[in-house]
Amino acid sequence: MPKKQPVAPRRSKLKLPAAAIKAKSVKEKKDMDLMRLGVKMCAMRMMTMERRK
């Protein structure tokens, strides 16, 4: 069975403002994910530190 084509080409046809808004929201989401990841890493580090004691 052929693979589904990525959605990227269809998105690029959007009008510019919508694309810009989408890009901004994507960037914000990435920042949120990074923050969450950092919190997770911190928590994991704390856990390992607690375990070592």
Q: What is the pTM of this model?
A: 0.40
Rounded CA-CA distance 40/29 in Å is 16
Q: How far is CA 41 from the centre of its chain?
A: 16
| 38-47 contacts at long range (C-beta below 8 A, 24 or more positions apart) | none
Query: What pLDDT does residue 33 have?
Result: 85
Query: What pLDDT does residue 12 have?
Result: 53
Backbone angles phi, psi at 51, to 5 degrees: -65, -40
Tell me which residue has tokens 């580090």: 45
Query: What pLDDT does residue 22 have?
Result: 73
pLDDT tens by residue, 4-48: 655 555 555 556 666 666 777 888 888 888 888 888 887 888 888
pLDDT tens by residue, 9-18: 555 555 666 6
Smallest Cα–Cα separation from 26: which of 13, 8, 6, 41? 8
